[in-house]
Amino acid sequence: MLDTTQILLLILTVLLGGTLILIGIQLYFILRELRKGMQNVNSLLEEFQSAAGNLTSSTQHIKDSMREVHDMTVKVKEGISTPLVSGLASFGLVRSLLQPLLGKDEEDEEE
């Protein structure tokens, strides 16, 4: 038959085993919840990365468009507008020379 020491050891072993089983079950549930949370964070980060990629491509498209506009304005300044600017400068020079001769009539027309 079993004496008291063996009975106490058996009860203690059963209690510790049961406690370890309960701790294992709780650990399983905690890890499962942690996995679900990490999946949610991962999907959120993927959505953010997708949105950031769309924003980056949009800003790159705008940057390229602005570069094209700048290149066209440079070409216009170099090519077409040089005679136009010279003509306007000449017109301004002639106008400033003739303004004292014309008097206030031309100033009244501008207002």
pLDDT in tens, 42-66: 999 898 888 887 777 777 777 877 8
Q: Could you give the residue ranges of the DSSP H alpha helices within the chain?
A: 4-78, 81-102, 104-110
The three-class DSSP label of residue 1 is coil
* pLDDT, tens digit (0-9, with 9 covering 90-100), for 69-101: 777 777 766 665 566 666 666 676 677 767 777
The C-alpha atoms of residue 27 and residue 34 are separated, in whole angstroms, by: 10
Q: What is the pLDDT of residue 82?
A: 60
Give Cα separations from 25 to 11, 18, 33, 43, 111 (angstroms). Answer: 21, 11, 13, 27, 90
State the CB neighbour count (10 A cutoff) for residue 71: 10
Q: What is the pLDDT of residue 10?
A: 94
- Higher pLDDT residue, 82 or 31? 31
